[in-house]
Amino acid sequence: MIVLTAGTAVRAQQPTQPTTPRSVAPADFTGVWAAVITEDWRFRMVTPPKGDAAGVPLNDAGQKAADGWDPQKDIAAGEQCRAFGAGGVMRMPIRLRVSWQDDTTLKFETDNGQQVRLFRFGGSLPPASEPQWQGQSAASWETVTEGQGIAPAGGGGGGGRGGGANPAAQLTGSMKVVTTRMRPGYMRRNGVPYSAEAILTEFFDRSDEANGDVWLIVTSTLDDPTYLAQPLMTSTHFKREPDESKWKPRPCEVTLPLDTR
């Protein structure tokens, strides 16, 4: 737009559009993603025997709770979703459907268990309420100073991956999500527990391969002073699908171990 004043052309300043977490997103996580399970198959694709917590650093209280798992009690109490809470659902055989609910909230839906995880940016968490299966999740885009690599996720409930407040920092493709206020649930569907005190820290990264495949990599750390002797770290992979033709939502279901059917 040109404004003429006394024979002089002056370019009017265009209005500045406000930036939002959606508008500055360094990576596109929207679409449908299918879990690719190439490790821990017997813990993720089927229900292992009661008390089998191999690979999970349970303390004595955690192992006692796992040994006491009673699937019929969960069913009777209407708590079939214990294995589909935020502390365990990403390790289940699921598809994710990801979309922006609004400019500050990224929505992750699961087909298996029909769960909805809302990742809220900018400190826009709702008022504290009763703990829910998916808890409350605060999200942020990761930054890293130019020339500085991104360190692996870890360090318990708060460790960042990169250089934080440097004004020269640039956005990377990573999203950090910290989830609290979860209802007690299961890390695995055979009753391996996490408590209401657990804190889940996740990093989401997108990888576009030369052959056209697109991957979502979720690196997580679960801290639980009630049931874990040390944090549990996992890395989970999802592959992007071309459309929603395989998206078939179904409710939470308790699946018994093979040796008890």
How many alpha carbons fall within 13 Å on the CB side of residue 155? 10
Residue 17 forms part of a structural domain: no
Q: Which domain holds residue 191?
A: 35-244
Residue 137 forms part of a structural domain: yes
- Structural domain count, the chain: 1
Q: What is the DSSP letter of 60?
A: H
Residue 254 forms part of a structural domain: no
The C-alpha atoms of residue 119 and residue 183 are separated, in whole angstroms, by 17
How many alpha carbons fall within 13 Å on the CB side of residue 182? 33
pLDDT, tens digit only, all 261 positions of the chain:
444 445 555 555 666 778 999 999 999 999 999 999 999 999 999 999 999 999 999 999 999 999 999 999 999 999 999 999 999 999 999 999 999 999 999 999 999 999 999 999 998 677 777 899 999 999 999 975 444 444 443 333 333 343 333 434 445 679 999 999 999 999 999 999 999 999 999 999 999 999 999 999 999 999 999 999 999 999 999 999 999 999 999 999 999 997 675
Residue 139 forms part of a structural domain: yes
Predicted TM-score (pTM) of the model is 0.84
Q: What is the DSSP letter of 181?
A: -
Residue 93 forms part of a structural domain: yes
Q: Classify strands 116-121 and 136-144 as parallel, antiparallel or unpaired.
A: parallel
Residue 25 forms part of a structural domain: no
> What are the backbone dihedrals phi and psi of residue 171, each rounded to the nearest 5 degrees, phi first?
-70, 140
